[in-house]
Amino acid sequence: MSLVSAEVHRTVLDSVRRVVDQAVHEGAFPGAYAVIGTREGILAEYGAGRLDSADASRPTARTIWDLASLTKVVGTTSALLQLVGSGRVVLDTPVVRYLPEWTVPGAQRVTVRHLLSHSAGLPAWRALYKETDTPSEAWRQVLATPLDTVPGTRFLYSDLGFMLLGRLVERVSGTALADFDVQRVFLPAGMMETRYLPPTSWRSRIAPTEQDPWRQRKVRGEVHDENAARVGGVSGHAGLFSTAHDLARFARLYLNEGTLDGTTVFDAATVRSFIQVQDTAISRRALGWETPTGRNSAGQRMTPMAFGHTGFTGTSLWMDPGQNLFVLLLTNRVNPTRQNTRIGTVRTALADAVVGALPRVSPGTP
């Protein structure tokens, strides 16, 4: 799809506009920005709505969004890609080799691969922000949370597992997770406005999230996820902020198997291994990433080669090497309240509309 006609550009843009405008009209979110592209560049991009009831600014490619659980793949999985690709982390090594302080019963059977594929046997979540008062107390609770399933026997999406992975990155690299991601992933990829703990100078461009019942204020410029907030705003499961411009570059980096604009960020073979389904007897998960199931946000028209992820605040990114395509949707659907759950149908409608608007192509190679 490197050579795309003006007609295809228009058709794709029209499909995006119809879905996103309807979603804003129906109140799925205050504002959104969508980007559709290929490994070579952008096919269409479109912003709609407003940032907030008190801020009528229309979202742009430079609007900054709280990525929520996209942090798991954009930040933490990418960091592990670096460490696995360089041989500093081995996927089938027990996590306790890297984090010996994790001593709950059964921990010695949990591998890095288990954590990345959400099959470690950990619970999904716990309310650390209510149970503890400081980051150190919260981390003690994470390390003390017992397994509730034998590792490798069940899929359960776990924030706690990715909190451990973020800590593992820091232990192996000797660098804070936020610094490692910026230095080793974001800056080499040309992602200049992707970071944890965004500076106050960015605040006017950040899409506000929720009128948060815990903090008793509207959240803007600080992480929405309460547990990430409790540990200081930087975590393996949430905390990243970014723009459509930067995430389009990130998607192109993955579609090009780790190299973008002449700069190699990831080892190509390692990228291919991370986007493969791990154990179909348990789930359709890859390492960090989801793959299409027919019931998730990939919709019905992406190929089995596709991989992607969503974020609680209303973000999502899917990439399909089989069609040389990425679909990025950034919204603040939790504004003003997380009780708004219309985002699910919007994600699938957008993915299906975009693929339906494209000419059928043979799978490409970078």
Q: In which domain, by residue range, is 339 found?
A: 3-69+174-357
Q: 147-185 pLDDT, tens per residue?
A: 999 999 999 999 999 999 999 999 999 999 999 999 999
φ, ψ for residue 19 (rounded to 5)?
A: -65, -45
Joined tokens for residue 84: 């696995």
What is the pLDDT, as a whole number, of residue 363? Answer: 46
What is the pLDDT, as a whole number, of residue 1? Answer: 44
Q: 248-264 pLDDT, tens per residue?
A: 999 999 999 999 999 99
φ, ψ for residue 222 (rounded to 5)?
A: -130, 155
153 lies in some domain: no
Mean pLDDT throughout 307-312?
98
User: 203 with 221: CB under 8 angstroms?
Assistant: yes
| Entry pTM | 0.96
Confidence of residue 52 (pLDDT cuts 50, 70, 90): very high
Chain-centroid distance of CA 166 in Å reads 14
Mean pLDDT throughout 97-123?
98
What is the pLDDT, as a whole number, of residue 360? Answer: 72
Mean pLDDT throughout 231-254?
98
Confidence of residue 5 (pLDDT cuts 50, 70, 90): confident
Q: Tell me how many domains the chain contains.
A: 1
CA separation, residue 18 to residues 25, 44, 180 (Å):
11, 13, 39
Which residues contact residue 243 at a Cβ distance below 8 angstroms, ignoring those fewer than 6 apart?
61, 62, 63, 64, 65, 193, 194
87 lies in some domain: no
Q: 178-188 pLDDT, tens per residue?
A: 999 999 999 99
Confidence of residue 361 (pLDDT cuts 50, 70, 90): low
Residue 365, pLDDT > 50, answer no
CATH number, position 268: 3.40.710.10
Residue 59, pLDDT > 80, answer yes
Query: What amino acid is encoded at 283 in this protein?
Result: S
Q: Where are the beta strands (DSSP E) in 169-294?
A: 195-196, 211-212, 217-218, 240-243, 259-260, 263-264
Mean pLDDT throughout 113-126?
98
DSSP class of residue 229 equals: H
Residue 366, pLDDT > 70, answer no
Mean pLDDT throughout 265-276?
98
What is the pLDDT, as a whole number, of residue 359? Answer: 86
314 lies in some domain: yes
What is the pLDDT, as a whole number, of residue 184? Answer: 98
150 lies in some domain: no
205 lies in some domain: yes
237 lies in some domain: yes
Mean pLDDT throughout 342-364?
87
39 lies in some domain: yes
169 lies in some domain: no
